[in-house]
Structure 1
């Protein structure tokens, strides 16, 4: 689930909490605070806590008013489902808040930091403050007071659904749930107070309103009628004023914070943007290399098993090299969390190891001061099933379980290499860095902030080889990014000019940077911004990976599963191998109707945009069309003989290929899945519309008509195959037509793109009419069905809906994140 959606959930939860806040009443004026808390269990810290066990009440002491602090919610225990998106260690949005007293009430107020004034004139600042609303998040009753300290009953406040769990369940289709106070309580064992933060945990039970609807809830809860989860509220001291924010630059690769400053001079931009980063200062500001005043230290979860734990420490520690390049010695360290240390203490940057029922994203988040962008705490969440997914890929490629032979060591080595890279990647997010999905187009290992596909080669005997699957260490882009964010320039230096020079040097060195918005969309145009790809030429790498796939498929056998495993499990191991080319296909397709560009700023002297050479686009089209050929898609007869129906307790899952054949393995299921992936790229409405415009700008560029003609020639109009390969052709052609008609009916495409797709469908219908007399049997029926489908579209195009297709097994995450919260 995206960080943005969780913010909306949190906002809804706050609104609900305010509506349900108890009415304040006057405190007992005769009772002092010390008298009130006598006999209670006390926890001293930033905000002291007092626990009244008999009543089950938690009291909060407020030592001062009108002083800002950070209020943060998180999930210490998750639901274990990537689809629901409520994971262990997940952070909510931080709110800068303060307590304000009004008579017998205490209000928790969030000022509006989106709109500010940097003026020194208090009246000018007040004008901005009074122009925008603030938010009162909660109201408390004063229970007792003494010497300026006030005691409030905060039990209901801490038992609220601050993280928006109920909203998350509803939004992900799991049904309507409500918080049940009778089955909720303060979790005292994880309620603690530290000098710089106070932590309160609650055990909350959400009861279903009616019958539970969600399959994902049923997978991960003992009883889907009652979901009990932990939510955690943190109250954190904000950093002092010694931090110096650094300006955001779109070329630098950082997350940012922004606000509108109404006191800047007319003609200057109102919106102020700064990067997110840790505070790091030199002991000697004049030295080229200096020890830090305080190093950045990360701690690895003791719950991670060996050898995973050591791999996490090693991979995360790669960043030390970048900080050395930025002028710091011993500034970045990674250690295993000391025994007895509490990961909830805000002083610990954490790398957590979490378990889920389904594989899912890992991500790196940060507790950040919204006022300045200073990172207070980094928090990484790594999913344990990611390692197993890599191991599954290795099993499919190597078929290693040969009687009498040891399991190849490079399988575990591949998993550990990926674990190191993953640890470095997610820690990079908590240092402030965004993804760089253009790095892999330069060379393997250019940045750990890319998503790396394993680099699989063939040895002299044609056997897949994994010794170089993942690069070691951080890359050139990572070094450059840390220099931008953390270099401390000598006193008196022109920081703006120095930072600009760093970015210009990166450009001159050929370092590309493109992030999520330009890489993730299916119809994205950038020819070098890809997820899970390899190589400087995406079309050439697609051709190469298809050769690797062919060699691995030829070796695939029952040796891909351990002895004693049901043979039906071979089907699941087969999935990632059959779809091995899926990401490189997407990368190659971006060159078709692609546009090379960068995050340019005026005056930097670099390229802004350029159309791709026509030959590069046509090479990409040729490479992508290979993924529709019967030679590459037909499942060999030798494998169909060893894929039996599933036995009891081993059902198909969403990780399996779909089937039209009931219990038996469907030979066309994988074909349909792979063809649907390619067709969704070739018939993407944004790509189709770009092809038309680019051809109009330059007639040498391939146009949409040329691309559609090439697809139809490679499928419907290609020479007919025999046996199962003929059935593969029929499956491919059915899906291609489905997508062609879908494009013709897609209002997201330009009118001209829809018109060209419609014209090509009519041309195909007319061509099929000329071929009917030359066909027999299944081919005749197939061509007749194609004509009928086109006729159905032409009769009522506005009502046309493409025929349903088998679901494709999920791809991402193959071993990494969106998702990135990943600050992803």
Structure 2
């Protein structure tokens, strides 16, 4: 018994020892092992006590910690993400507008262990095929972009929970980069002064909207920035984030035709047969379905609804709603009944919510661009959100134009209703124009020569002269949608017969509008200053640019001759007359540009192989010479001189009324109005158009191909005859002539050293400078002392140019022009040495 008991005790001790060793090993193993993945935890348990916002992506708000938690239950599913600015900076120059939308991204949330990657798909390169391996080959050949990596905090089943706070408090719209790019300072995000903005954070069944207040801190603030922020050491904005369900596959993409006048999205399709183009293009348009599909008119399944910002004041708000509503007529003409509606945005609606197509009223410190854009599905071209931004100061510039043309603030006389009518007519046209962009339409700048056929042109106010030579502005802007607009909407949205070839149907529609005399040409053919088409211009009027220039110069003369202190209200500082004067004196600037394009101009259209009877030819010699004559007439001293009734009434600025340098003429006379600066500015613009290196090079080429067409030598000879070789004037007009002569020499020098011009264009300019040198040297000695000084100065410039041509370019520095584009800005950098031919922003 004892022996057996001892054995049992020994066995028990061994067992206890083994268990103890096993326990120690287990403890060591646990100590060396990382915690179990947190996705074993319950989301419900983790978020207990937080405010839950269920929706497309469910949100949890932790009030105590100021954090937003995001429940992702759509792993490996494509969704749309984009950032936008809910509150802006207020500077047109920096460009951070209220409501500005950043490019949309198709993203996936992909899990890797304890991390969740937000990965942007690369839809610029694809393979439209059912072959999965072929698709994979393309996907692996081009980079993707991971925009954020989240740490998973909890999870259950197919859903995970992540802390999205840091992601949401970033500078997602690139505000600091925009400030740096415009040289307005060096700024970065300050997390301690940034937080979630809960009133605009909501989740809906198909979209989740989250907003944050962010603060940028920095130094070296520039003038644009200082003008709009209360303190330059802290810039606070509101950043908005949108997560959106992508549209279903019920939308049918429509192929792009360059003649159809519709914007496009493009991508490379590596599944394309070798004998077919690899780049594919779809047009941009809204999804619009008929209840009864087919070409016949039908009610729609769901209308397109646009909302107007209720923060817009009256009567502008009504004008915007009326102009936007014009598009209903275009859709009805295309067979879609009750397809387009306009409403006022509900007061409790979030303007950043993707469910609302929005016309938004935006304030800035200076006048500037309006634009139309939005969010498009990059996979198909389907427009998901239309977004219009209208700058509020533009309407004041319209009113200023009307004021300069017809105002007569005589004592006791009420304001002229016609001025407000013009401004509201422009607001209706502007709303229709920008909404047109959000419907898929680009600019059509040739429409103004087809009887104002499109709201997608840039319209200069149409001004008529009555039989009594008075100004009539009652027909300044068109009312209603244009003929071209109906054509374009029909090509973009119409239902074609079942089984038909889509491109063949579009081709039929193109040929139909061509037979009607309509045409489509856009930005690339109009914006560049050296562009060649004789009818495709910005801010022009009339069917013939030269005839309209002659008419515009007559209107300008009548307005300037009648200009008086009655152009402004009683009690207003008299010096502010200059702001009204500027657009009247420069009233001809865009028509000069239009007429100049006939010189070395080429008539053409967008042509596909197989098309016949489509124009492609140089403008006739007769038309070019007629244009040259009218353009040179704008350089005459009598055309450039300000009448005495103006020079005698503009005093220096009073205390408290500093001039905005963009809205008045630059000067060399200090506080006193400079009578020579407006002629210098206007002449410099005309010469910049006429002597542009691309135009000069085309003149050389066209005369080589056809000796009957004007040559560059002919144009320069005519220019010098109209300026240098014209009779000497006394007094004020004589000084203007000398200003213009110096500018002619300047532009010849610029052309001779411009490497973007053809070698023969540069050689011709150089030769003409040498001829001019001889002409000046042989000038009569009987001229005035002012003319002798002028001749001596210019001969010295030419001598310096011959020794150091590259250095001479900057000796003459013409004064910059005030801001142009009747209701916005123009980039005049092309007039400077080492010119940069960048185009302007697309929407205006």
Output the TM-score relative to the length of structure 1: 0.95
- Tell me: higher relative CO, structure 1 or 2? Use CA pairs within 8 A at least 6 residues apart: 1
Distance 2:368 2:543 in 1: 28
CA shift, 1:459, in A, is: 2.0
SS of the equivalent of 2:802 reads helix
SS of the equivalent of 1:87 reads coil
Give the whole-Å Cα distance in 2 for the aligned partners of 1:792 and 1:54: 74
- What secondary structure does 1:771 align onto? coil
Q: Distance in 2 between matches of 1:700 and 1:231?
A: 61
Structure 1 33/447 Cα, relative in aligned 2: closer, same or farther at 3 Å?
A: same
CA distance in 2, matches of 1:727, 1:94: 57
Q: Does 1:645 align with 2:655?
A: no
1:378-417 correspondence to structure 2 within 5 Å = 378-417=386-425
1:725 is aligned to 2:733: yes
- The residue that corresponds to 2:636 in the other structure is 629
2:359 alignment partner, one of 326, 330, 351: 351
1:749 aligns with 2:757: yes
1:576-725 counterparts in 2 under 5 A?
576-607=583-614, 609-653=616-660, 654-725=662-733
SS in 1 for 2:436: helix
Residue 375 of structure 1: CA displacement? 0.2
Contact 1:363-1:820 within 8 A present in 2 as well: no
Which runs of no fewer than 5 residues in structure 1 stay unpaired? 1-23
1:118 and 2:125 matched: no
For residues 312-711 of structure 1, the aligned pairs below 5 Å read 312-443=320-451, 445-607=452-614, 609-653=616-660, 654-711=662-719
Q: Report the CA distance shift for 1:813/1:165 in structure 2 as closer, same or farther (over 3 A).
A: farther
Please state whether the residue corresponding to 2:557 is helix, strand or coil. Answer: helix
In the other structure, the counterpart of 1:279 is: 287
Per-residue CA deviations over 1:366-416 (Å, capped at 9, x if unaligned) read 210000000001001111111000101111111321113222211010001
- Report what 1:161 is aligned to: 171
Number of positions where the alignment pairs a residue of Structure 1 with one of Structure 2: 798
Tell me by how many angstroms 1:522 deviates.
0.9
Confirm or deny that 1:814 pairs with 2:823. yes
User: How many angstroms apart in 2 are the aligned matches of 1:324 and 1:25?
Assistant: 65
The Cα of 1:221 is off from its aligned counterpart by 1.0
d(CA) in 1 for partners of 2:181, 2:791: 42
Displacement after TM superposition at 1:796 (Å): 1.0
Q: Which residue number in structure 2 is paired with residue 140 of structure 1? A: 150
- The 1-side partners of 2:35 and 2:561 are apart by 77
Q: Hey, what does 2:800 align to over in structure 1?
A: 792
In structure 2, distance between residues paired with 1:476 and 1:163: 38
**Does the 8 Å contact 1:426/1:822 carry over to 2?**
no
Distance 1:331 1:124 in 2: 41
- SS of residue in 1 equivalent to 2:388: strand
- The CA distance in 2 between the partners of 1:151 and 1:196, in whole Å, is 19
Match of 1:38 in 2: 48
Mapped contact 2:194–2:214 kept (Cα < 8 A): yes
| Partner secondary structure for residue 220 of structure 1 | coil
Q: Of residues 206, 227, 232 in structure 2, which corresponds to 1:224? A: 232
Instruction: Report deviation, 1:345.
Output: 2.5
* Deviations, residues 614-660 of structure 1 (Å, cap 9, x unaligned): 11111111111121111111111221111100112211222110010
CA distance, structure 2, for counterparts of residue 447 and residue 738 of structure 1:
39
Is contact 1:360-1:813 (8 Å) kept?
no
After TM superposition, the structure 1 stretch with the greater mean CA deviation from structure 2, 808-817 or 409-418, is 808-817
Q: Do 1:62 and 1:149's aligned partners in 2 also have CA atoms closer than 8 Å?
A: yes
Q: Give the unaligned 5+ runs of structure 2.
A: 1-33, 828-838
- 2-structure distance, mates of 1:742, 1:40: 69
Residues 467-518 of structure 1: CA deviation (Å, up to 9, x unaligned): 0000111111111100100001232333222111001111111112111111
Larger Rg: 2
2: CA distance, partners of 1:99 / 1:606: 54
Please point out which of 813, 819, 832 is paired with 1:804: 813
Residue 201 of structure 1: aligned partner: 211
Q: How much is the aligned-residue C-alpha RMSD, in angstroms?
A: 1.7
Superposition deviation, residue 821 in structure 1:
6.1
Q: Does the aligned pair in 1 maintain the 2:460–2:822 contact within 8 Å?
A: no
Q: Structure 1 stretch 84-93 or stretch 414-423: which is displaced more?
A: 84-93
Look up the SS of the partner of 2:781 in the other structure: helix
What's the offset of the Cα at 1:354? 0.7
Deviation of 1:806 after TM superposition, in Å, equals 1.5
The equivalent of 1:7 in structure 2 is: none
Q: Distance in 2 between matches of 1:36 and 1:563?
A: 70
Residue in 2 aligned with 1:765? 773
Residue deviations 1:778-812, cap 9 Å, x none? Answer: 11101111111111111111333232221210102
Partner residue, 2:246: 238
- Determine the C-alpha separation between the residues in 2 that align with 1:160 and 1:243: 34
TM-score, normalization by structure 2: 0.92
